């Protein structure tokens, strides 16, 4: 029988992955904005993100976005583990 997942550990793991992905996304937008918008537009099935993308990213908005993604990642990872354990 497989072991149960530890909800906090799963939360921390997903929060870490989400934070890394968010940081890489930020770097892509800063370094190669047009490439990033085309790449993410393809992921979202052709939505033209250039119409809604901000012209400049402030440090405050970058930090806030990072914190939001990490918190959401933790909550989703924790919830996944709780549901997984209940279904076992």
What is the spatial distance between Cα 19 and Cα 4, in angstroms, rounded to a whole number? 25
pLDDT of 2 > 80? The answer is no
Q: Which residue has the higher pLDDT, 9 or 55?
A: 9
What is the spatial distance between Cα 63 and Cα 66, in angstroms, rounded to a whole number? 5
Residue 66 pLDDT: 97
Q: What is the pLDDT of residues 5-54, one digit of tens each?
A: 999 999 999 999 999 999 999 999 999 999 999 999 898 887 888 888 88
Q: Are 18 and 31 in contact (CB under 8 A)?
A: no
Q: How crowded is the C-beta side of 11, counted as CA atoms within 13 Å?
A: 12
Annotate 25-72 with DSSP letters as a single string.
Answer: HHHHHHH-HHHHHHHHHHHTTT--GGGT--S---HHHHHHHHHHHHHH
Give the pTM. 0.85
Predicted confidence band at 74 (pLDDT cuts at 50, 70, 90)? very high
């Amino acid at each position: 029988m497989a072991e149960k997942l530890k909800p906090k550990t799963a939360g921390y793991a997903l929060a870490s992955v989400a934070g890394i992905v968010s940081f890489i996304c930020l770097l892509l937008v800063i370094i190669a904005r047009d490439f990033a918008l085309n790449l993410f537009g393809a992921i979202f099935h052709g939505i033209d993100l250039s119409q809604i993308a901000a012209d400049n990213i402030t440090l405050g908005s970058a930090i806030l976005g990072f914190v939001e993604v990490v918190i959401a990642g933790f909550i989703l990872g924790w919830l996944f583990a709780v549901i997984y354990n209940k279904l076992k």
